[in-house]
Amino acid sequence: MNLNFDSNIEILKSKKTDTTVSSLITKEDGDFYIGGYPDDEGISLNGGKVGAKEAPNSIRSILYKMTVKDSLKSLTDLGNLSFNGSSLEERHDFIADKITNILKDKKKYIGLGGGHDYGYADGLGFLKAVSSKEQKNKPLIINFDAHFDLRNLDKGITSGTPFYRLCESEFEFDLFEIGIQEHCNDQSLFEYAKTKNINTLNLEDLYSYKGFNFSYFVESFNKNTVAGTPCYISVDIDGFSSAFAPGCSQSWPSGFDYKSFEMMFNYLLDRFDVRILGLYEVSPPLDLNHMTSRLASLIAYRYLFHA
C-alpha cells in the first residue's frame, strides 16, 4: 500500500507568471492548501459514469491561469493523491488525517474530486479539527447537491454514502442539504434526513415561477445558525443545471444557475468561517468545451479571493 500526495505533475511545474494564480503557489506553508483526488471508484460502485479522476488537473489547468486578485495570499498545492493498492476506506482516512493537521494549523483547504465519496474524507478531517467540548455551537456542513448522498452502507462505500457515514460518526454537527431534487432521491432518504434533523432546502423551494428565492435561502440560515460558525462547504457539481455543468456523471436540465449559486456562496462566505471547500464529480471526458471544469475553477477562485 502506498498512500501519499504526488506533486510531480506538469501543471505544478509549469512556468509561473506574476499576474496569475500560479504565481501564488509556494512550497512553504501557504494560506490555502489544495489536494487532488484523481479517483472515481466510488462513482463506479454507485453505478455512475466514470471520468472524474481527470478532474483535479483539469480544474487546476484553468484555475492557475486566472488573474490574481490578491497577491498577499499564498497557496500550497500538495498534488494528487497516489493510492496504489489501497482501499477506498484507507484513502479516505489518509485524507481526513491530512486535512485535520492542515486545519489545526489555521490554514484553509480546497479538495478537488474525484467522486463525492471524498466528501466523507474532507468532512471527517474538518470535524476532527474543529470539534471540541468547549465550543458553544456545533460545526456546520453545507452540501450543494441534487442528491442527499445519505445512502447506507448495505452496498459498501460509494459516492452516495459520504453524509450517511458522517451522520453515523461520533461527531455532532449541523448539516444543510441545498438543491435536493425529488426525482433524484428515494423517499427513504427524505425520511432519514428528518430523523437526523437535517436542514433540507429542495430545489423547487429555492426556485419558483418568480425565479430564485434568495430571501428564503437567507432566512433558513439566519433562523438556524450562528454567524462565525466553522464550516465545510461541499459542492457536488451535479447540483447545477446541465446548461452550466454538462460534464458530470449525472447531469439534469434542472439545477442551479451560476448567478444564484454565487449569491448563496458569497452569503455563506460572509456569514461563516469556511475552513474547507470541496468540489466533486466534475468529469472532463463528459464535458463540453471545458464548461464544467471552468465552473469548478471559478468557485475555487471565489473562495480564494473572497473579500
Distance CA 247, CA 31 (A): 30
Cell of 215: 430571501
Whole-number pLDDT of residue 1 = 60
The per-residue pLDDT for range 54-72, each reduced to its tens digit, is 999 999 999 999 998 766 7
Which helix (H) or strand (E) segment is 267 a member of? helix 258-271
> Is residue 137 predicted with pLDDT exceeding 90?
no
Q: Which of the four pLDDT bands, split at 50, 70 and 90, describes residue 132? A: confident
Residue-level length of the chain: 307
Q: Which of the four pLDDT bands, split at 50, 70 and 90, describes residue 52? A: very high
Distance CA 272, CA 297 (A): 21
Mean pLDDT (whole number) for 96-115: 97
The per-residue pLDDT for range 205-257, each reduced to its tens digit, is 999 888 999 999 999 999 999 999 999 999 999 999 999 999 998 889 999 99
Q: Which of the four pLDDT bands, split at 50, 70 and 90, describes residue 17? A: confident
Whole-number pLDDT of residue 27 = 87
Q: Which residue has the higher pLDDT, 71 or 4?
A: 4
Mean pLDDT (whole number) for 79-90: 95
Mean pLDDT (whole number) for 2-11: 90
Fold classified for 40-66+114-304: Arginase; Chain A (3.40.800)
Average pLDDT value over all residues in the chain? 95
> Is residue 303 predicted with pLDDT exceeding 70?
yes
User: Which burial class, exposed, middle or buried, applies to 71 when counting CB atoms under 10 A from its CB (0-12, 13-18, 19+)?
Assistant: exposed
Mean pLDDT (whole number) for 270-284: 98
Distance CA 261, CA 42 (A): 26
> Is residue 113 predicted with pLDDT exceeding 90?
yes
> Is residue 133 predicted with pLDDT exceeding 80?
no
Which residues, other chains included, contact 307 with Cβ-Cβ below 8 Å and sequence gap of 6+? none
Whole-number pLDDT of residue 66 = 95
Q: Which of the four pLDDT bands, split at 50, 70 and 90, describes residue 89? A: very high
* Beta strands across the sheet bearing 75-82: 4-6, 75-82, 32-37, 108-113, 273-280, 230-236, 140-144, 174-180, 199-202
Whole-number pLDDT of residue 12 = 85
> Is residue 122 predicted with pLDDT exceeding 90?
yes
Q: Which residue has the higher pLDDT, 52 or 137?
A: 52
> Is residue 307 predicted with pLDDT exceeding 70?
no
Whole-number pLDDT of residue 134 = 66
Whole-number pLDDT of residue 70 = 67
Q: Which of the four pLDDT bands, split at 50, 70 and 90, describes residue 143? A: very high
Mean pLDDT (whole number) for 45-52: 96
Q: In this prediction, what percent of the chain has a pLDDT beyond 90? A: 87
